Chains A and B, each alone.
Chain A
C-alpha cells in the first residue's frame, strides 16, 4: 500500500466517505493515499479494478465523478467536495 506524510487540508468524497487530499493530487492519488484501490467493476465479469497506469492510458481507474461516468480519476484534479462513486456497469 501507499502512505504519505504532511498535511491533507481538504476533502473529497468516495462512495460517501471523506477522503483527505492536497494540492497537486489527482483523484486517483488521493484515493490511493487513503488506501482505496478499487474504483470500478468490469462490465463483463464484475471484477474489481483500480488505478494501473496513472497516466490516462489504461482507463482502469475510471469512476463516476460529480455524476459523470467513465471519468479517468488519474487525469482528474482533486477538488474540495468532489463526489466520486464506484462505477458499476
Chain B
C-alpha cells in the first residue's frame, strides 16, 4: 500500500485535536485527523452529536465539532494509530492497516485515568468513574442498586450528578482525599472561584438527591466471581456495605505511550505527580516534527485544551511556512491570554486533590495483565531491581497487552518506596511501537 501524503496528521479528535485541525486547515495545510472512536468529541464530548448538548460546555463542544466538519480537514474515525516512524503514521481501520506520510504529526491523545490499585480492584463490577461516564454518554447506562464511588477529584462528584440527573442511583461516595489538602489549597482559592461555585452547586444537588459523601480510608472491593461488598474505614472504624458496582477515580494523567515510543524527552509534573512530554511554547516536543497539544501535554481541562490545540496549530503553520512569525504571534495572543485564565483554577484543584503515592498491601495486584502483586515488586527490589524497565525482566510487570498503561504509575510508586527514593527518580516504562497488540493480518496488510 503506497502511503498517502499530507501536511499534518492529527491524532485524537477531542477538544485539542479538533481545534488544531480547524486552525491548520484554515491556514491552507492539508490536514488528516485520526481517532479511534466512531465519532468526534474525545472523552469530554463523546457521542455529543447523538446525545445532544446538556450544558454550556457541551454547546461549545457542538460548535467546535460543526466548525471542524466545515473546515475542509479530512477525518477518519475508528482509526487506531499504532505507530509513527520517520514522518509516517500507521493505523488500523476496519481490520486493515493504513499509512500516511506527514510533514508534522500533532498528538492530541489526551489522558487516561490514574490507576487506583486497591484490594479487589480487578473484580468484575469494579470500574473507573470515567468508564461509567463513557457508558452513560454512549449507551445511556445509569448506575442502579448498590453503586459506590471512591476516590478523589471533580469527576467523582460530577459523574454522580450526571448519573442522578439521568435517573440513576448512587449509594454513596467515599472521599479518599487527604483532609490536610483542604488547608493547603486555601491559598490558591482566588483563582478558582467560579470552579468552586460550580462544585458547591454539584454538592448541593447530591445532598438533595440523598447521596451521602463519606470521608474514608482503606477501601477494599470484596466478592467471589464479582464484587458483592466494599469495606472501608471511617475515622478508623471499619464498615462494610453491599456493593455490586464500585467506581474508582484519582484524577487523570497524560497518555505518554506514543511520545515515549517516539523518544521525546519527558518531565516530571510535581503538582500532578505524573510524567508529561517536554514541550516548547508551541507544543513542539524534543523530537523534530512531533507536536503535543491538550491534556496530553499536561492536564488543564477541555477549555484549556481547545486553546492549546489552536496555539500548537499556529506554531505548526508557521513551522511549515504557511504563515509568518508575526501572524502566528498576533493570532495566538488572544488564545494564550485565554488559556492563562482557563488554567487559573488548576493550583487550587491540583492541591485539593493532590494524588498521593499508592502503597498497597503485598497481596494487591499492581499489573492487571500479568497479575503481578505489590509484594512481587517489593521482592524484585530486594533482589536488586532499580527501575521499571528492569522490573519487566524481574516480574513481567508491564509486559501484558495494555503495555504498562494500567500499572506504570503505581509500579513506580511501590518501587520508589521500596528503594527509599522519590518517585520522580524512577524513569517511566520505555514503550515501543506498535502501541497496541496487532494481528499478523494487520502487519501483512502493509505489504499490499
What's the minimum C-beta distance from B42 to chain A, rounded to whole angstroms? Answer: 10
9 contacts between A and B (CB under 8 A): A4-B141, A29-B135, A42-B371, A50-B226, A52-B127, A53-B113, A55-B131, A55-B134, A57-B406
Contact B402 A29 (CB under 8 A): no
| Residue numbers in B under 8 Å from A45 (CB-CB) | 371
Identify which of B142-150, B294-302, B347-355, B411-419 touches chain A.
B142-150
Identify which of B118-126, B258-266, B377-385 touches chain A.
B118-126
Contact B142 A2 (CB under 8 A): yes
Residue A16, interface by CB 8 Å: no
Map CB proximity to A onto B273-298 as digits: 1 under 8 Å, 0 otherwise.
00000000000000000000000000
Contact B370 A44 (CB under 8 A): yes
What's the minimum C-beta distance from B39 to chain A, rounded to whole angstroms? Answer: 9
Closest to B369 in A: A59
Map CB proximity to B onto A13-55 as digits: 1 under 8 Å, 0 otherwise.
0000000001111101110110001100010110111111111
**Size class of the contact patch on chain B:** 35 or more
Contact A3 B144 (CB under 8 A): yes
Contact A4 B139 (CB under 8 A): yes
Contact A54 B135 (CB under 8 A): yes
Evaluate whether A4 and B142 lie within 8 angstroms (CB atoms) in the complex, with A48-B225, A53-B113, A54-B135 already known.
yes
Contact B122 A24 (CB under 8 A): no
Question: Could you tell me which residues of chain B, from 348 to 398, have a CB within 8 Å of some CB in chain A?
Answer: 368-371
Contacting residue for B141 out of A3, A52, A56, CB 8 A: A3
Chain B interface residues (CB < 8 Å from chain A): 36, 38, 43, 47, 50, 78, 80, 112-113, 122-128, 130-132, 134-135, 138-145, 147, 167, 225-226, 244-245, 255, 368-371, 400-402, 405-406, 436-437, 439
Contact A51 B131 (CB under 8 A): yes
Closest to B141 in A: A2
The CA of A28 and the CA of B139, in the complex, are separated in Å by 10
Contact A48 B130 (CB under 8 A): no
What's the minimum C-beta distance from A57 to chain B, rounded to whole angstroms? Answer: 5
Contact A54 B134 (CB under 8 A): yes
Chain A interface residues (CB < 8 Å from chain B): 1-6, 22-26, 28-30, 32-33, 37-38, 42, 44-45, 47-60, 62, 68, 70, 74-75, 77
Contacting residue for B138 out of A3, A24, A52, CB 8 A: A24
Closest to B167 in A: A5
| Residue numbers in B under 8 Å from A50 (CB-CB) | 124-125, 226
Closest to A42 in B: B371
Contacting residue for B122 out of A28, A33, A49, CB 8 A: A49
Which among A5, A55, A56, A68 has the greatest number of chain B C-beta atoms within 10 A? A55
Evaluate whether A26 and B139 lie within 8 angstroms (CB atoms) in the complex, with A52-B368, A59-B400 already known.
yes
Contact B112 A24 (CB under 8 A): no
The CA of A43 and the CA of B335, in the complex, are separated in Å by 50
What's the minimum C-beta distance from B229 to chain A, rounded to whole angstroms? Answer: 14
| Residue numbers in A under 8 Å from B401 (CB-CB) | 59, 62, 70
| Residue numbers in A under 8 Å from B167 (CB-CB) | 5
Contact A58 B145 (CB under 8 A): no
What's the minimum C-beta distance from A79 to chain B, rounded to whole angstroms? Answer: 12
Closest to A26 in B: B138
Add 18 more A-B contacts to A58-B402, A59-B437, A60-B402 (CB < 8 A).
Answer: A2-B132, A4-B139, A24-B50, A24-B139, A25-B139, A26-B138, A29-B139, A33-B141, A37-B124, A48-B123, A48-B124, A52-B128, A54-B134, A56-B36, A59-B369, A59-B400, A59-B402, A74-B131
Contacting residue for B226 out of A25, A26, A37, A42, CB 8 A: A37
What's the minimum C-beta distance from B282 to chain A, rounded to whole angstroms? Answer: 28
Contact A38 B226 (CB under 8 A): yes
Evaluate whether A22 and B139 lie within 8 angstroms (CB atoms) in the complex, with A52-B127, A53-B128 already known.
yes
What's the minimum C-beta distance from A30 to chain B, rounded to whole angstroms? Answer: 7
- Listed from nearest, the 4 A-B pairs whose CB atoms lie closest are A29-B139, A54-B131, A37-B124, A50-B124
Contact A29 B112 (CB under 8 A): no
The CA of A26 and the CA of B406, in the complex, are separated in Å by 21
Contact B141 A57 (CB under 8 A): no
Contact B371 A44 (CB under 8 A): yes
Closest to A25 in B: B139
